Amino acid sequence: MEVKKRLAYSDKKNTRTKEVDIVRGLTIVLMVATHFAYSPLLISKLGNTLCFTIFLMLFGFSLYVSVIKHGNHRNIRYKIIKRVGLLLLAYYFVAFISLLSEPKSVSRVIQTLTFSYSPILTEFILTFIFYTALLPLAFYKLRFVFTLPPRQEFGIFGIIGILSYILGTVLNKTLSQPSILAFLGGYKSYSYFPLLQYLIVVLIGILYARYIETISVKIMHKVIILEMLTVILVSLIFPHKLAQLFTPEERFPPTILFIGLGTSVGFGLLLLARSLKFEKASKIIETLGKNSLGIYVFHIAILKLLNYKTFITITGPMEKTFMFGFLLFGYFPVYSAAQLVSVKLLKIGYFKLLGKRLKQAIT
């Protein structure tokens, strides 16, 4: 009884989903803006610095709710296979569209298939593929940690996060050429997001989901104000350090300050989304958040197919607004059309039987 009580999350309907989807929606808008208007301007640097870290934090949040709170061994395996399959499909689709604009070679195709090479703007999906394949079952086995007193719980997560960061940093320093270990510690290439150094971000997302119900709205507002004042203070005292955070070298592998900035902004956005009441205004953002993977695939595919530089050279405000809206919302009619086709196919008895057999085999 005590264990169930300590693992309880919330009885309020959609509270968890709404705040996460709102922040995910805001982040996907920033990502599309970053890729669409890529330049040395602040918006691009801001997107490059924040988007990946916030998405990872939200991944940790969802991992806690879907696996630790609601999961059982059978449905976890099904969820893993389904989600990894979807991410692989998204990755290969975008990656091979990207290869169309590169020199054609069999070796490059093989490298892409085996994750030895990932075209620009596709590399971070690999991190989510590996995390989705490895972490759910691992944390399901470690559920006993969440029955411990909070201090012990935070201590264990802190030790795991710090040790993984140190181990990843050591691996990064010792690698002289790219290998499978580059996915753990990173390498001198943008193709490798280091899993070990970024694990601490996932852990922060898990702990946020774990304890958010115990934080009052009043405390949330105080934390948000404190975060804002801290960022302003750090900016004034260490302006050169803050500027350095916006360089690509800060995330391959990530520095502590880089991780700190991304998680702080993500934490603040989650608190704001939870505490503020803006039902109508949040609906569109929430919808974008629920379809973030599809929007990512669509906008990258369009950018690649129509040539990256074509979008950058658009100068008129009306043209820019239209193209940005198309990249952000063009996915939805495509998805609706695909859904109609899939419904037609599912009416065929063979596909129904195949789907049932596949689900039975997995579970």
User: Is a pLDDT exceeding 70 seen at residue 328?
Assistant: yes
Section 56-80 average pLDDT: 82
203 lies in some domain: yes
Give the model's confidence band at 28: pLDDT under 50 very low, under 70 low, under 90 confident, else very high: very high
Among residues 242, 255, 247, the alpha carbon closest in space to that of 168 is found at 255
| Cα separation, 90 vs 108, whole angstroms | 18
Section 113-126 average pLDDT: 83
191-195, 263-267, 293-297, 354-358, range with the lowest pLDDT: 354-358
Q: Which residues of 160-195 are buried (b: 16+ CB within 10 A; e: fewer)?
A: ebeebbeebbebbeebeeeeebbbbbbbeeebbbbb
User: Is a pLDDT exceeding 80 seen at residue 112?
Assistant: yes
Concatenating the DSSP letter of every residue in 141-201 gives: HTGGGGGS-HHHHHHHHHHHHHHHHHHHHHHHHH-SS--TTHHHH--SSTT---HHHHHHH
237 lies in some domain: yes
Dihedral over Cα of 39, 23, 54, 239: its sign: positive
| Residue 37: burial class (beta carbons within 10 Å; 0-12, 13-18, 19+) | middle
Residue 110 vs residue 175, higher pLDDT: 110
| Residue 16: burial class (beta carbons within 10 Å; 0-12, 13-18, 19+) | buried
| Cα separation, 149 vs 23, whole angstroms | 30
What per-residue confidence (pLDDT) applies to 296? 92
What per-residue confidence (pLDDT) applies to 354? 54
Q: How many CB atoms lie within 10 A of CB 318?
A: 8
| Cα separation, 162 vs 146, whole angstroms | 19
Average pLDDT, the chain: 77
Render pLDDT for 241-274 as a digit per residue (tens, 0 to 9).
666 656 655 667 788 888 888 888 888 888 888 7
What per-residue confidence (pLDDT) applies to 6? 44
Give the model's confidence band at 42: pLDDT under 50 very low, under 70 low, under 90 confident, else very high: low
Side-chain-side CA neighbours of residue 202 (13 Å): 23
Question: Is residue 74 within 8 Å of 359, Cβ to Cβ?
Answer: no
What per-residue confidence (pLDDT) applies to 55? 94
| Cα separation, 207 vs 235, whole angstroms | 27
| Cα separation, 185 vs 169, whole angstroms | 6
In the chain, the amino acid numbered 62 is S
Which residue is it, tokens 């774990």?
210
Which SS3 state, helix, strand or coil, does residue 251 take? Answer: strand
Give the model's confidence band at 345: pLDDT under 50 very low, under 70 low, under 90 confident, else very high: low
322 lies in some domain: no
Give the model's confidence band at 144: pLDDT under 50 very low, under 70 low, under 90 confident, else very high: confident
Give the model's confidence band at 172: pLDDT under 50 very low, under 70 low, under 90 confident, else very high: confident
Residue 30 vs residue 360, higher pLDDT: 30
Q: Which domain holds residue 53?
A: 43-273
What per-residue confidence (pLDDT) applies to 265? 87
The verdict on whether omega for the bond into residue 194 sits within 30 degrees of 0, i.e. cis, is no
Question: Is residue 287 within 8 Å of 74, Cβ to Cβ?
Answer: no
| Cα separation, 87 vs 102, whole angstroms | 23
25 lies in some domain: no
| Cα separation, 208 vs 286, whole angstroms | 19
What per-residue confidence (pLDDT) applies to 226? 75
| Residue 81: burial class (beta carbons within 10 Å; 0-12, 13-18, 19+) | middle
| Cα separation, 310 vs 323, whole angstroms | 11
User: Is a pLDDT exceeding 70 seen at residue 235?
Assistant: no
Indicate the number of domains in the chain. Answer: 1
57 lies in some domain: yes
Give the model's confidence band at 11: pLDDT under 50 very low, under 70 low, under 90 confident, else very high: very low
239 lies in some domain: yes
Q: What is the pTM of this model?
A: 0.82
User: Which stretch of DSSP H or E encloses residue 281?
Assistant: helix 279-290
91-95, 114-118, 133-137, 151-155, range with the lowest pLDDT: 114-118
What per-residue confidence (pLDDT) applies to 169? 86
255 lies in some domain: yes
Give the model's confidence band at 281: pLDDT under 50 very low, under 70 low, under 90 confident, else very high: low
In terms of DSSP H, where are the helices of 37-122?
A: 42-63, 73-99, 106-113
Residue 183 vs residue 247, higher pLDDT: 183
185 lies in some domain: yes
Percent of the chain with pLDDT over 90: 17
Section 6-22 average pLDDT: 57
| Cα separation, 240 vs 247, whole angstroms | 12
What per-residue confidence (pLDDT) applies to 242? 60
